[in-house]
Structure 1
Amino acid sequence: MPHTPEPDEDDLDAIAPPQPVFHVEQALLGALLLDPHRIDDVKGITADSFSTAAHAALYAAIRTLPRPDPAEHAKNTKWLDRVLATALEEARGLTASYLHALVQVCPWPRHAPAYARMVEAEHARRRLLTAAERLVHTVHDVSLPHPVQTVLAEADALAAVVDDIANRFPPRSGVLPRTPAPPPTAADDTEAVEEEQLLLATATARPDDIDAVRWLLPDDLTLPLHAGLWQCLTTLARRDEPIDPVTVLWEAQQRGLLDDGSEPGEILRMLAEPAGSVGHWAERALQRSLLATAEHTGRRVEAYAGDSANTPFQLVAGARRALADIAAVRTRWQHAAGATPPQQRRAAPATRAGPPTTTAAHAARPTRATR
């Protein structure tokens, strides 16, 4: 068998990731190099399923080349030479000695199907991690002209990966990842705070518009105080009670919202400065909530997929539970996008004017309010 002159012949071992899957891939490739007919027993993987370019090139060559006669293969290395020559077209660092090493490290060639299943499981984890990373990256891409639509498309792509993994590894009921979910990202978003203040003030000035934005929930707002005040407004509106800054402040006191040291005078001043329309500010708040939910979902799935101790069954269960959070906000967003009235043109009784209605992109905002 000819030896390919490569000065750094041992680099494949040096640069290989230390994860167990690397050794599993070696065992699988060794089994197929030793007994090529066992390729018929290997299901569910392709060259892309391997963690290194060298292993992917070898598997592609093994899968592509005609299988040798078993008797001839036992006598010479001609087929191994062809595998090496073919694989070298994609991975120039391969050597004949590495192929021989693969054969030597394979414990039992008849275990090839089990090795392939392990490779498939690890590939599923990497695919899930990549899809989750794309979702998080998209949430933070402030250049997007239509951030919600683009983020939801990435969420759908992540869900499609989860469904494919579920088809390959049917989930078992009650099996969730052992990895703790990361805490929500906390960030300073002055714009979100200001817009929520305008929402609360405008809803106080125009309480008849509150019913039209029932899709907005307190937890969609970024600050606990804002969430509590929105709950005060919706409660007063549902009871058909008088709504103005004073009645809202009184309801807030009854709910203990002032126990954190919030100044009543500051709340009254905030509620007395409306601008724009309730629907506009509510839609802006819901958009931020959707993007923040998508970001947190992506980070949860990243954490699950980044933990190699989680099985494919656990990854599917955990990812589906995380994606359910996006689905819930998405339903409300679709309702809002079809029901929100245009920005009102009549003059507002405040000194601050709101921006024109838009759903322009913003970076993911702070953690959702907690009650």
Structure 2
Amino acid sequence: MDALLKGEQAVLGAVLLDPAELDRLSWLMPADFYRPVHQALFAAMRTINARERPTREADGTVPMSWLTGTVAEAGRHVRGLSASYAHTLIAACPRPQNAPVYGRMVLEGSIHRTVTEHAIRLEHVARVDAEQQQVDGVLHHADVLADVLSDLASRWGTEPRPLAPPSTAAGLAQPTPMPVVPAQTEDEQFLLAVLVSQPSAMAEVYDWLRPGDFAEPGNGQVYRCLGALHHRGEPIDEVTALWEVQRRGLLADGTLSQEHLDRVFGGPGAGSAEWLGDRVIRSSVVRTAAGAATTIRGLAENEAMAPGRLIGQALHALGSLDEVRARWRTANNRLSPGAEKAGPPEPSAPAARVHAALARSSPRPATAKGVPSAAPLARSGTASPRRTSPSPHHRSVQ
């Protein structure tokens, strides 16, 4: 026995028995019903009630014209509807005064179906955009899904706010990552080769590109190492990059292989880091949207999930897309008029960074009779970049 079907029949039977119940169901829409015949009947009830305002007779019964008129109006939109089905609906309603409760059952089923449909649509668009290296379509459908969730929250009577899922969520399918296409891997390796070959290239992408934006985890780990060198003010080249990889144990634990590093460090190293970084973060936007859509779809297909929790956790899943989208917009708005008015950025000082790195690498002079020698020149006077407190987005790269 389908409880949702019984709920739809019960709410329609309650309204057939008492048209005044429609006033307590103003938040219920015809599209909330699953069966097309029920959609047509509820729409017909709303139309006739708005036009005629039928009421019960003195003996408590409703006029026969209310039933026949509803069936006739609905029959204009669906086929096979007969007056006998109206009596079936009346018999399916235990108590007409419980119409709002039956209506909430219908709305709950509608919320699960609606969220599932929009999540599937977002998944499909993400896969299409991944092939075309586009993000506009996936961002548009993500915004549509967010608006739908906010509207459903308002109708359900809850606040549309993100709700983190419990850490011990059982039975929840993990998002299946999108397959990595060869073009994405090539873009990432070309970018890493440029970052290693061109001393100033890292500054072009460091503020908005993150290791998690790389589709290939190994490439993301190499970028993390380069970001750590840049953050500490140390020079970036093949030798320092390889040393950082080895210090982090990425070769020993099998995260990276020498063959992988040879492909990265042996790349052409020619090109624009900004352009390649934009392609990498575009792919990250699409993959993040696809992952959020898969998560939301799994939530919506869980019939045991309460509507309020479903909406809150779906909004939380979209939060990861908001973060990467904000960074993508930062990457594409660097030359906006507002940025130009803010004044020129502080000039970079690669020589100072190299000097600080060399000072840290130099051994301290020997001490005499326990008296410590003077601190190296790079640590006296003006503070080196190493001592400057990094901003939050700088910390996240390491």
Question: Distance between the aligned counterparts of 2:185 and 2:132, measured in 1?
Answer: 23
Compared CA separation, residues 75 and 106, structure 1 to 2 (3 A): closer
State the match for 2:375 in structure 1.
none
Instruction: Tell me if 1:33 matches 2:16.
Output: yes
Do the aligned residues in 2 keep the contact of 1:129 with 1:305 (CA within 8 Å)?
yes
Question: Distance between the aligned counterparts of 1:46 and 1:186, measured in 2?
Answer: 36
Q: Which has the higher contact order (CA 8 A, sep 6+)?
A: 1
Question: Distance between the aligned counterparts of 2:164 and 2:222, measured in 1?
Answer: 39
State the match for 1:170 in structure 2.
158
State the match for 1:358 in structure 2.
none
Do the aligned residues in 1 keep the contact of 2:55 with 2:62 (CA within 8 Å)?
no
**Partner amino acid, structure 2, of 1:21:** L
Identity rate, percent? 35
CA offsets 1:156-207 (integer angstroms, 9 cap, x no match): 1111111112222314996848562523324142111111111111100013
1:1-371 matches, cutoff 5 A: 19-65=2-48, 66-71=52-57, 74=61, 77-142=64-129, 147-168=134-155, 169-171=157-159, 176=165, 180-214=172-206, 215-259=208-252, 260=254, 262-264=256-258, 266-273=260-267, 274-339=269-334
Compared CA separation, residues 308 and 234, structure 1 to 2 (3 A): same
State the match for 1:365 in structure 2.
none
Secondary structure in 2 matching 1:258: coil
CA offsets 1:62-87 (integer angstroms, 9 cap, x no match): 11112444228838633211111111
Runs of 5+ in structure 1 lacking a partner? 1-17, 342-370
Compared CA separation, residues 90 and 325, structure 1 to 2 (3 A): same
Question: Distance between the aligned counterparts of 1:281 and 1:146, measured in 2?
Answer: 12
Question: Distance between the aligned counterparts of 1:75 and 1:294, measured in 2?
Answer: 52
Runs of 5+ in structure 2 lacking a partner? 337-397
Q: By how many angstroms is 1:147 displaced?
A: 2.4
Do the aligned residues in 1 keep the contact of 2:32 with 2:39 (CA within 8 Å)?
yes
Question: Distance between the aligned counterparts of 2:131 and 2:221, measured in 1?
Answer: 32
Question: Distance between the aligned counterparts of 2:116 and 2:56, measured in 1?
Answer: 40
Normalising by structure 1, what TM-score? 0.81
Single out whichever of 72-81 and 239-248 deviates more from structure 2.
72-81
Do the aligned residues in 1 keep the contact of 2:162 with 2:315 (CA within 8 Å)?
no
Q: By how many angstroms is 1:238 displaced?
A: 2.0
Q: Computing the radius of gyration over CA atoms, which structure comes out larger, 1 or 2?
A: 2
Secondary structure in 2 matching 1:170: coil
Do the aligned residues in 1 keep the contact of 2:122 with 2:138 (CA within 8 Å)?
yes
Single out whichever of 140-149 and 37-46 deviates more from structure 2.
140-149
Do the aligned residues in 1 keep the contact of 2:213 with 2:284 (CA within 8 Å)?
yes
Q: By how many angstroms is 1:337 displaced?
A: 1.1
Question: Distance between the aligned counterparts of 1:145 and 1:265, measured in 2?
Answer: 30
Question: Distance between the aligned counterparts of 2:4 and 2:25, measured in 1?
Answer: 16
Q: By how many angstroms is 1:266 displaced?
A: 5.0
Secondary structure in 2 matching 1:207: coil
Question: Distance between the aligned counterparts of 1:146 and 1:285, measured in 2?
Answer: 10
